[in-house]
Protein backbone atom coordinates (compact mmCIF):
# COMPACT_ATOMS: atom_id res chain seq x y z
CA UNK A 1 0.00 0.00 0.00
CA UNK A 2 1.34 3.44 -0.90
CA UNK A 3 1.62 5.98 1.87
CA UNK A 4 -1.11 8.33 0.58
CA UNK A 5 -3.58 5.56 -0.31
CA UNK A 6 -6.52 5.51 2.05
CA UNK A 7 -7.80 2.10 3.17
CA UNK A 8 -11.04 1.48 5.00
CA UNK A 9 -11.30 -1.92 6.70
CA UNK A 10 -15.10 -2.06 6.62
CA UNK A 11 -15.24 -1.70 2.82
CA UNK A 12 -14.79 -4.93 0.85
CA UNK A 13 -12.39 -4.54 -2.04
CA UNK A 14 -12.71 -7.98 -3.59
CA UNK A 15 -13.34 -8.40 -7.30
CA UNK A 16 -17.01 -9.36 -6.86
CA UNK A 17 -17.82 -6.08 -5.15
CA UNK A 18 -15.80 -4.06 -7.66
CA UNK A 19 -17.56 -5.72 -10.59
CA UNK A 20 -20.93 -5.01 -9.01
CA UNK A 21 -20.01 -1.34 -8.56
CA UNK A 22 -18.75 -1.06 -12.13
CA UNK A 23 -21.83 -2.66 -13.66
CA UNK A 24 -24.21 0.21 -14.14
CA UNK A 25 -27.47 -1.12 -15.44
CA UNK A 26 -30.96 -0.97 -13.99
CA UNK A 27 -30.47 -4.24 -12.06
CA UNK A 28 -27.28 -3.23 -10.25
CA UNK A 29 -26.14 -0.85 -7.58
CA UNK A 30 -25.33 2.66 -8.76
CA UNK A 31 -21.69 3.62 -9.14
CA UNK A 32 -20.33 4.72 -5.76
CA UNK A 33 -19.91 8.40 -5.05
CA UNK A 34 -16.20 9.22 -5.30
CA UNK A 35 -14.92 11.88 -2.91
CA UNK A 36 -11.42 13.24 -3.48
CA UNK A 37 -10.28 15.12 -0.38
CA UNK A 38 -7.54 17.71 -0.71
CA UNK A 39 -4.62 16.69 1.55
CA UNK A 40 -4.69 20.10 3.28
CA UNK A 41 -8.41 19.90 4.12
CA UNK A 42 -8.79 20.31 7.89
CA UNK A 43 -10.40 17.24 9.42
CA UNK A 44 -12.27 19.43 11.92
CA UNK A 45 -13.98 21.27 9.05
CA UNK A 46 -14.66 18.20 6.88
CA UNK A 47 -18.41 17.53 6.81
CA UNK A 48 -18.12 14.13 5.08
CA UNK A 49 -15.22 12.42 6.88
CA UNK A 50 -17.54 10.31 9.01
CA UNK A 51 -18.93 8.64 5.85
CA UNK A 52 -15.66 6.72 5.39
CA UNK A 53 -16.41 3.03 5.47
CA UNK A 54 -19.92 3.44 4.00
CA UNK A 55 -19.91 1.35 0.79
CA UNK A 56 -21.86 4.06 -1.06
CA UNK A 57 -18.75 6.25 -0.96
CA UNK A 58 -15.12 5.85 -1.99
CA UNK A 59 -12.60 8.28 -0.53
CA UNK A 60 -9.28 9.27 -2.06
CA UNK A 61 -6.66 11.62 -0.67
CA UNK A 62 -5.92 14.07 -3.48
CA UNK A 63 -4.25 14.19 -5.88
CA UNK A 64 -4.83 10.40 -6.00
CA UNK A 65 -7.96 9.40 -7.84
CA UNK A 66 -9.58 6.36 -9.39
CA UNK A 67 -7.97 5.45 -12.70
CA UNK A 68 -11.30 5.19 -14.51
CA UNK A 69 -13.92 7.87 -13.98
CA UNK A 70 -15.87 7.14 -17.14
CA UNK A 71 -19.57 7.25 -16.43
CA UNK A 72 -19.13 9.93 -13.75
CA UNK A 73 -20.18 13.59 -13.52
CA UNK A 74 -18.43 16.08 -11.21
CA UNK A 75 -20.22 18.56 -8.99
CA UNK A 76 -19.05 22.08 -9.82
CA UNK A 77 -20.31 25.66 -9.83
CA UNK A 78 -20.65 25.62 -13.62
CA UNK A 79 -21.88 23.25 -16.31
CA UNK A 80 -25.35 21.97 -17.11
CA UNK A 81 -27.69 21.49 -14.17
CA UNK A 82 -27.64 18.05 -12.57
CA UNK A 83 -30.90 16.26 -13.33
CA UNK A 84 -32.64 12.90 -13.37
CA UNK A 85 -31.05 12.41 -16.83
CA UNK A 86 -27.76 11.88 -14.93
CA UNK A 87 -29.26 9.14 -12.71
CA UNK A 88 -27.06 6.40 -14.21
CA UNK A 89 -23.88 8.42 -13.73
CA UNK A 90 -21.53 8.13 -10.81
CA UNK A 91 -21.01 11.28 -8.76
CA UNK A 92 -17.54 12.78 -8.24
CA UNK A 93 -17.10 15.30 -5.43
CA UNK A 94 -13.97 17.32 -4.66
CA UNK A 95 -13.71 18.17 -0.96
CA UNK A 96 -11.78 21.09 0.47
CA UNK A 97 -11.93 24.87 0.63
CA UNK A 98 -12.81 26.59 -2.65
CA UNK A 99 -9.18 27.54 -3.16
CA UNK A 100 -8.00 23.95 -2.55
CA UNK A 101 -10.69 22.42 -4.76
CA UNK A 102 -9.57 24.64 -7.64
CA UNK A 103 -6.16 22.95 -7.38
CA UNK A 104 -7.68 19.45 -7.59
CA UNK A 105 -9.95 20.19 -10.56
CA UNK A 106 -7.26 19.85 -13.28
CA UNK A 107 -6.63 16.26 -12.10
CA UNK A 108 -10.17 15.28 -13.14
CA UNK A 109 -10.74 17.63 -16.06
CA UNK A 110 -12.08 14.84 -18.29
CA UNK A 111 -15.13 14.36 -16.05
CA UNK A 112 -18.20 16.30 -17.28
CA UNK A 113 -19.31 19.10 -14.95
CA UNK A 114 -22.75 19.45 -13.39
CA UNK A 115 -24.06 22.20 -11.17
CA UNK A 116 -26.83 22.06 -8.62
CA UNK A 117 -30.04 24.07 -8.84
CA UNK A 118 -30.23 26.87 -6.26
CA UNK A 119 -29.79 25.34 -2.79
CA UNK A 120 -29.53 27.30 0.45
CA UNK A 121 -26.71 26.49 2.85
CA UNK A 122 -27.15 26.21 6.58
CA UNK A 123 -23.40 25.94 7.20
CA UNK A 124 -22.11 29.01 9.07
CA UNK A 125 -19.14 30.49 7.28
CA UNK A 126 -16.55 32.49 9.19
CA UNK A 127 -13.59 32.73 6.81
CA UNK A 128 -11.42 35.78 7.36
CA UNK A 129 -9.27 34.92 4.33
CA UNK A 130 -11.73 34.63 1.45
CA UNK A 131 -15.40 34.60 0.60
CA UNK A 132 -17.35 31.68 -0.73
CA UNK A 133 -18.99 31.94 -4.13
CA UNK A 134 -22.71 32.64 -4.21
CA UNK A 135 -24.46 29.34 -3.77
CA UNK A 136 -21.50 27.79 -1.94
CA UNK A 137 -22.49 24.77 0.12
CA UNK A 138 -20.86 22.52 2.66
CA UNK A 139 -19.74 19.31 0.94
CA UNK A 140 -22.33 17.24 2.82
CA UNK A 141 -25.09 19.64 1.72
CA UNK A 142 -24.02 19.48 -1.93
CA UNK A 143 -23.81 15.69 -1.82
CA UNK A 144 -27.22 15.38 -0.18
CA UNK A 145 -28.86 17.61 -2.79
CA UNK A 146 -27.09 15.86 -5.69
CA UNK A 147 -27.95 12.37 -4.47
CA UNK A 148 -31.61 13.35 -4.00
CA UNK A 149 -31.69 14.74 -7.55
CA UNK A 150 -30.17 11.50 -8.84
CA UNK A 151 -32.77 9.46 -6.94
CA UNK A 152 -30.17 7.78 -4.72
CA UNK A 153 -30.43 6.57 -1.15
CA UNK A 154 -29.76 9.43 1.26
CA UNK A 155 -30.62 7.47 4.39
CA UNK A 156 -28.51 8.70 7.29
CA UNK A 157 -26.48 11.05 5.11
CA UNK A 158 -27.18 14.07 7.32
CA UNK A 159 -27.29 12.11 10.60
CA UNK A 160 -24.10 13.71 11.95
CA UNK A 161 -24.47 17.10 10.29
CA UNK A 162 -25.12 19.67 13.02
CA UNK A 163 -27.16 21.98 10.77
CA UNK A 164 -29.22 19.23 9.08
CA UNK A 165 -32.65 20.37 10.30
CA UNK A 166 -32.05 23.95 9.19
CA UNK A 167 -30.68 22.81 5.82
CA UNK A 168 -33.68 20.56 5.17
CA UNK A 169 -36.14 23.27 6.26
CA UNK A 170 -34.53 25.98 4.10
CA UNK A 171 -34.78 23.77 1.00
CA UNK A 172 -38.24 22.22 1.50
CA UNK A 173 -39.49 23.55 -1.84
CA UNK A 174 -36.69 21.76 -3.71
CA UNK A 175 -37.27 18.48 -1.87
CA UNK A 176 -41.03 18.73 -2.58
CA UNK A 177 -40.35 19.37 -6.28
CA UNK A 178 -38.07 16.32 -6.43
CA UNK A 179 -40.76 14.15 -4.83
CA UNK A 180 -43.34 15.27 -7.42
CA UNK A 181 -41.30 14.33 -10.48
**Segment among 18-22, 85-89, 144-148 with least mean pLDDT:** 18-22
> Are 133 and 96 within 8 A, CB to CB?
no
For 83-115, the pLDDT digits (tens) are 999 999 999 999 988 788 888 999 999 999 999
Global pTM value: 0.80
Q: d(Cα 28, Cα 107) in Å, to the nearest integer?
A: 28
Of the spans 41-50, 78-87, 116-125, which averages the highest pLDDT?
Answer: 78-87
CA nearest 160: which of 139, 138, 137, 140? 140
Choose among 21, 22, 104, 97: nearest CA to 60.
104
Q: Is residue 49 classed as helix, strand or coil in its secondary structure?
A: helix
Amino acid sequence: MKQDEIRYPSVRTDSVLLKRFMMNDSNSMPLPTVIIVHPKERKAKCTVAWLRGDPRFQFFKGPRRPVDLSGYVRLAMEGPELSAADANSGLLVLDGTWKLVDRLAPKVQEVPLRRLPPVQTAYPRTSKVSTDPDGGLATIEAMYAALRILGRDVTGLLARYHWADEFLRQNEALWDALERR
